[in-house]
Amino acid sequence: MDLRRKLLAIVLLMRVMAAAFGGANESKVVVDLRAHRAEIRQALLRYTPIGSKVSEVLKFVAAQLIPSGSALPKIENGPATGPATDGSHRRGVKTMRVYLGQYYDHPEVVFLTVPLIMRKEVTAQWAFDERNRLVDVFVDKETGVY
């Protein structure tokens, strides 16, 4: 009987720890913001392949991509926009844009007396067709010089 209580206590403790420390089987996805836009796009497509439903993409973004407590992105009517969409025929009719983060870059010194710091903000945009299926993912990097 004493052994049974110990086993029950261990099982209960394991369940409590699993619930407290991310019992979900899905871990957060870390995006290498310094990677080329095409590499980031390919990484996101591994989790949200072409043809995915809007609900599946939202689930991925909420559970694995954005920080806990952040507001979910909205699905907006209209095609995807931005530099990454230039020349694309798969811009969709609905989009969802997610801010992935920012990083600072130090380009080669143009003027030795003026060091430049560049901040790059990285966003991803999922484009959906009229059937609410994913048609493409676009990644943009906006650069600010300081």
**Which tens digits make up the pLDDT trace of 111-137?**
556 667 788 999 999 999 999 999 999
Contact status, residue 103 vs residue 33, Cβ threshold 8 Å: yes
Instruction: Tell me which H or E stretch contains 140.
Output: strand 134-145
pLDDT tens column, 62-104: 889 876 667 788 899 999 999 999 988 899 999 999 999 998 8
For residue 31, give the 3-state DSSP assignment.
coil
Among residues 140, 145, 135, the alpha carbon closest in space to that of 83 is found at 140
